[in-house]
Each structure stands twice: as C-alpha cells, then as structure tokens.
Amino acid sequence: MSGPRLPIAAPALLAGAVAVGAIAANLPSVPNTAVRTADESTIPELAVSSGRLNTLVAAVQFAGLADALSGDGPFTVFAPTDEAFSRIDDDTLASLLTDAGRPALQRILKHHVVVGEFKAADLVGRDSIETLAGTSLDLDAVRGRLLVADSVVETANIDAENGVVHMIDRVLMPPKQIVPLEVLLENAVNRGAPIFNDGSPDACAAVYATALDAVALGSGFGIDQSTRDRISNELAEIGGMESGRDRAWAYRRIIDSLFATIQNGMLMDESAATASADGRESIMTTGRPIFTFDDRADFSGWRTVLDGVMGGRSTGRIQDADGTLVFDGATSLENNGGFSSIRCNIADGMFDGSDAVRLVVKGDGRDYKFSVKSGQGRGAGGYWATFPTAKDEWTEVVIPISSLDRQFMGQRLQGRVKPEDIQAVEFYIYDKKAGPFRLEVDSISAINTADGTDA
C-alpha cells in the first residue's frame, strides 16, 4: 500500500536531524488539542504535522518504514520527541543514518511500534507489551504518569487514522542483538586455532570446514543464496587440497572475509518481507513463542541437572522473577565437575516450520550453551550452541537450528537435528570456570528467518 511521500530529502537527513535535536529543547510544547484533531491523518502524516517529531520523521523515512506505518494497522507508536533525540550524541545518530547503520535504525524504530491500538487506559495495569522488533517494553504507572521502559509519556492518546501515538521523552534502545554468523565463526576459530598451533592442521581444517558447511547450507545467517553458492564451490575446491595446512589457511581466509562482511554491516536483513496490503509484514519480526514465562505453567516442566551426578559440586536452581526464568548458582571445578544445567521437555511439533531459535536473555558476562534434544530419554543426545552474554544487559540471541552441533557425553558427533524432531530444550553453564553465575531468560521462540513468516 502506497503511503505519503514525506517532505525530507535523504541527503539532508543527518543535518536536519541534528539541528532539530539542538533546537527542540528551546521550542514550547505543542498543546495536545493542536494534534488531537488530526485523527484522519495516518501516523506518518500526523508526525509531520505535530512539530515535535521531526527527527523521528527523518529516521522513519530513511529507514524505509513510512509506507508500512501508513498502512491500515492499527498501530500504537511510542514516539520520541525531538528533545528525546537530542539526548543521543551526534556520532551515534550519524552512524545510524548511513547505509551500514540502517538495519540497526530499523530495529530501534520497530522497538517503538506495537500492533494494535492501545490507549493509555489500556496500558495502565499491564506489565509489558510486545513490539514489532520481537522485543518487549516494560510498562508502569507512577504518580499519575505512564512509564514505558526508561521513558515517560509526555502526551498520550494522539489519534491517527490507523492507530494512536504516545509522545515519550526518551529514545528506547532494544536489547543488544547477537549476530548468529559471528557467534558461529568465533566458536570455530576459538576451537580450531589452538588445534592448528598444537600441530594438527588437519583437525583445524575439519573444524573450519564444518562451520563453513553450516553457513553454505543454512538459511539463517543473513547471507544471500549467491554468496552461499560461492562458498560451497570454494569449499569443494579446498577439499581437494592435499595439505591440511593449506586447507586450514584457505578456510580461514573465507572466515575472515565473512567477519569483514559482518563488521561492514553488509549482512542482509532476512526478517524484512515485502509489504502486504496493510504494510505489517514489512516491519514485523515474527515467531512462535515456546516459553514466555508470563504464566506459572511455563515453569512447571523445568528441572536442574548438575555435575553432582558425576561427583561434581556445582549448584543450580530455577526461580520465577516476575515473568522471567532465573537460572543461577555456582560452578565448581572440584572432582572434575564444572557444569550446571536446566532442561524442559516440550510438545511435539513446537518447532515445525522454523529454522532458528530466538532467545531474549540477560546474563552476567559468562558464556552459556543452549541445547535441544530430539528425544526425551537420556540416550537422545543433544545439539548445542554457545552464546555470550553482556553483563546485566538484555540481549536477543538468534541461533540457526542448522548450526547446532550434535553432542553426546561430551563428544561431538555427525548429524543435524530437524526442527520438527525437537522435543526438549536446555541451558548449560559449562565454560570451565568456577564461580557464581546468573542467567535470566525472558522468552524462547521458534522463528523463521528465511521468509519472514510465522514459524
């Protein structure tokens, strides 16, 4: 559906956005009644006419989301004012308004948009609300003011033809997003490089080849099909080299080029689909929630499995922390121990049609492992992936199912798990370090990164 052409030229976006941020603090607030009469305007048209959302208009236009936000909706937009944008330093704003920064800008803007029309009265009493970025915003009401995450609603219930706008005094940042390709490659290098340096280039080459095979065959890494085909051809040529040292270096050159692609912000945004009639699919991140921990029933099947079963002395427990699962305890390396884990069986078919798992977690800076099982018995084995955490920061982790390594009793095995065969999920702390740990899990979802549809 075609939307309005906003009156801001792309080359002037940065200068206009910074200037608006500097001037906004000196402008008087627009009376609420001045914008409430615009209920026949779409949300972007309303933002243009408000006089207080010029930086947001520039950002939405540059991010390519104006047409989608002009669709039928309805949408609820928590709109940062120009003064809110002025709190962001100029260098950060400049980096977002570049081609390399556009995906990050799109995700930030989606973090401010909710499907459905929610007036202030609808939000009061709710603990949180899910955004188009697949993230959630905490809600609270204090002394007659509505709080949305770290922001205060300054002007509420501004009606538009296709939804409602609430002006807020802060730009809300979504949880840090970990690039699954980067995690996969870092794990491969961290595992392969020491083997190479210890005099086993053939084993190092095998590690690198396994990781690159996952990239070439998988669809959840943000790489287009032509690039995956090129990698497959290169892998076939490298596989014919007799020298393990030559193979290892050739694989490493491909890995380094992929690292450069990540650093230059050149990965595709595979979650963006073509706009439908109402424009929603062009900005939605979709998925099927497996656990949201909003209901006590989500905790009932989880249990701990500790290294005490083998004589170790690590501890672990599960707690309900107001809508999140907390897995905490302490790891001990005594008696060859060092791991603590939690697991839960799930119904058959929960991951049907998906190609990745999305986790929203807050950790303590240690590395954790996520695992799935294709059966519910002890002999089923597991399929693992390691993910890092940032201390006390909410992080979105997307793990392609094709990248999960099959393991049994600590040994890596051949084979991959099919999404439809997943029957259990697990979290491990097993980083060969002793000390306290804490991982908070907000949600676990099955997603489809290949075509942007519900899993």
Q: Going residue by residue through the chain, which has 455 residues, state the pLDDT in tens, using 9 for 90 and above.
A: 333 223 332 323 333 333 333 322 332 233 333 333 445 688 988 888 888 899 999 899 888 888 888 887 789 999 999 999 988 888 888 888 887 778 888 889 999 999 889 999 899 888 888 888 888 898 988 888 899 998 999 999 999 988 999 999 999 988 876 677 888 888 889 889 999 988 999 999 999 999 999 888 876 677 777 788 889 999 999 999 999 999 999 999 899 888 877 765 555 444 333 333 333 333 334 468 899 888 788 888 899 988 775 667 889 999 998 789 999 999 998 887 788 999 999 988 889 888 889 898 999 999 999 999 986 555 456 898 888 888 888 888 888 888 888 875 555 667 788 999 999 999 999 888 899 999 999 989 898 876 444 44
Distance CA(2)–CA(237), nearest Å, equals 47
- In angstroms, the CA 187 to CA 202 distance is 17
- Quote the tokens at residue 367: 């590395």
What is the model's pLDDT at position 376?
A: 58
Distance between CA 52 and CA 361 in Å, rounded? 34
Secondary structure of the chain in the HEC alphabet?
CCCCCCCCCHHHHHHHHHHHHHHHCCCCCCCHHHHHCCCCCCHHHHHHHHCCCHHHHHHHHHHCCHHHHCCCCCEEEEEECHHHHHCCCHHHHHHHCCCCCHHHHHHHHHCCEEECCCCHHHHCCCCEEECCCCCEEEEEEECCEEEECCEEEEEEEEEECCEEEEEECCCCCCCEEECHHHHHHHHHHHHHHHHHHCCCHHHHHHHHHHHHHHHHHCCCCCCCHHHHHHHHHHHHHHHCCCCHHHHHHHHHHHHHHHHHHHHCCCCCCCCCCCCCCCCHHHCCCCCEEEECCCCHHHHCCCEEEEHHHHCCCCEEEEEECCCCEEEEEEECCHHHCCCEEEEEECCCCCCCCCCEEEEEEEECCCCEEEEEECCCCHHHCEEEEEECCCECCEEEEEEEHHHCEEEECCEEECCCCCHHHCCEEEEEECCCCCEEEEEEEEEEEEECCCCCCEC
- CA separation for the pair 20, 82 (Å, rounded): 6
Q: CA–CA separation, 101 vs 107, rounded Å?
A: 10
Bridge partners for 315 per DSSP:
330
245: Cα within 13 Å, side-chain hemisphere: 3
Q: Could you give the C-alpha distances from 24 to 62, 77, 167, in angstroms and in order?
A: 20, 20, 14
